[in-house]
Amino acid sequence: MPGGELAMAGPSTRPDGRTIPVRGDLAHIRLAGVHFVPHYAVPMPHVAGPQGAQVRLAGSADAEVLGTLKAGEAFDVLDIAGDWAWGEVPGGKGPVGYVALADLKANAS
């Protein structure tokens, strides 16, 4: 969490939601103080299941594929809605997007 007072200092820029985990309603907690949204989320570590997973632009099986996770590859979940998780590959190493929950498993480590 950023320290000190947070204030709007001018017009905000619209980040690329495919590479930075920020939407109009939610952002990764590390972006507090950088991007203003109503809610911030602490990531929930998950990994791709044995078949791997596809990261999509939207929570839909026919949405554009932004990237592919190999089996066991990490994915930080920031939001879950229905059968889809929204998040990012940790450390900015991959795309931000939606992954089918059935293709992920929680990573307790």
Res. 12: pLDDT tops 80: no
Burial 39-61 (b: 16+ CB within 10 A, else e): ebbebbebbbeeeebbbbeebee
Domain 44-106 has CATH 3.40.228.10: no
- Please give the pLDDT value at position 8: 62
- Please give the pLDDT value at position 46: 97
Which residue ranges make up each domain of the chain?
44-106
Band of residue 4 on the pLDDT scale cut at 50, 70, 90: low
Token digits of residue 60: 């839909």
First-residue to last-residue Cα distance in the chain:
22
Lowest mean pLDDT, pick from 4-13, 26-35, 87-96: 4-13
The vertex-106 CA angle with 65 and 81, nearest 5°, equals: 55
